[in-house]
Copies of this chain bind each other. A is one copy, B any other.
Amino acid sequence: MTLTRKTVTELLREFRSPAPTPGGGSAAALAGAVGASLLAMVAGLPKPRAATDEGLRSLRDAGERCTALATALETLVDRDSEAYDMVVSAYRLPKGTDDEKAARARGIQDALRAAIAAPLEVMRACAAGLACGPVLQAQGNVNASSDVQVGLELLRAGLRGARVNVETNLGGVKDQAYSAEVAAEVARLSESGAADVPSVSS
């Protein structure tokens, strides 16, 4: 059974259980999915601030984009946990002979790449959601400003939470060229995310 087919109460109970999954990676994807959904909601509200055809079109485009991102992030809730389970399984492979050791090492490296790909995809989706913020704030229904702000807070938490997961798994990767490439994208996505979020001062 996929995580997102469970009730919210059940999923929260699973997050609390000491089983290795679901963990922070799935939680970050879920935060992003809720954030993108709130932005999609605001884009669809009647009485938008948008008063021109161009404004209405950019609002509609942002809404479609956030709906697609929310759906992608929902899928990533499960994908992250599946990838993490693969890492755990790979570490449990036998390591008695040299052949077994080599197969286990390859298995771990392959699993780590999957466990990096999922949160990296979460980061990309959250950054793309954050980039819709300015359009929603300028063109969306004025009474839903607080929903936009909460949505952006959640997308930022998703971006940052996914980053922690990418970096944790990157620590075990042997391929230096791949690591450098991922690290560069992480830095780029974090920066774009930070720039687009008008945070609530606290």
Contacts and interface: CB of A to CB of B under 8 A. Distances in A.
Nearest to A187: B202
A168 interface: yes
Interface residues of A, number: 60
Interface in A142-184: 144-147, 149-151, 153-154, 156-157, 159-161, 163-165, 168
Contact of A150 (B5, B41, B165, B190): B165
Nearest to A24: B150
Secondary structure at the A interface, as helix, strand, loop or mixed, is helix
A145 to B, nearest CB: 8
A11 interface: yes
A24 B38 contact: yes
Nearest to A148: B24
A99 to B, nearest CB: 28
Contact of A34 (B27, B145, B150, B202): B27
Interface string A24-49: 11011011011101101100111000
21 contacts: A3-B8, A4-B12, A5-B7, A5-B8, A5-B9, A7-B7, A8-B11, A9-B74, A12-B70, A15-B38, A18-B46, A23-B38, A23-B41, A23-B146, A27-B151, A31-B34, A31-B154, A149-B161, A153-B164, A160-B200, A164-B200
Interface of A: 3-9, 11-13, 15-18, 23-25, 27-28, 30-31, 33-35, 37-38, 40-41, 44-46, 67, 70, 74, 77, 144-147, 149-151, 153-154, 156-157, 159-161, 163-165, 168, 190-191, 193-194, 199-200, 202
Closest 6 CB pairs of A and B: A24-B150, A157-B157, A15-B37, A150-B161, A190-B202, A24-B147
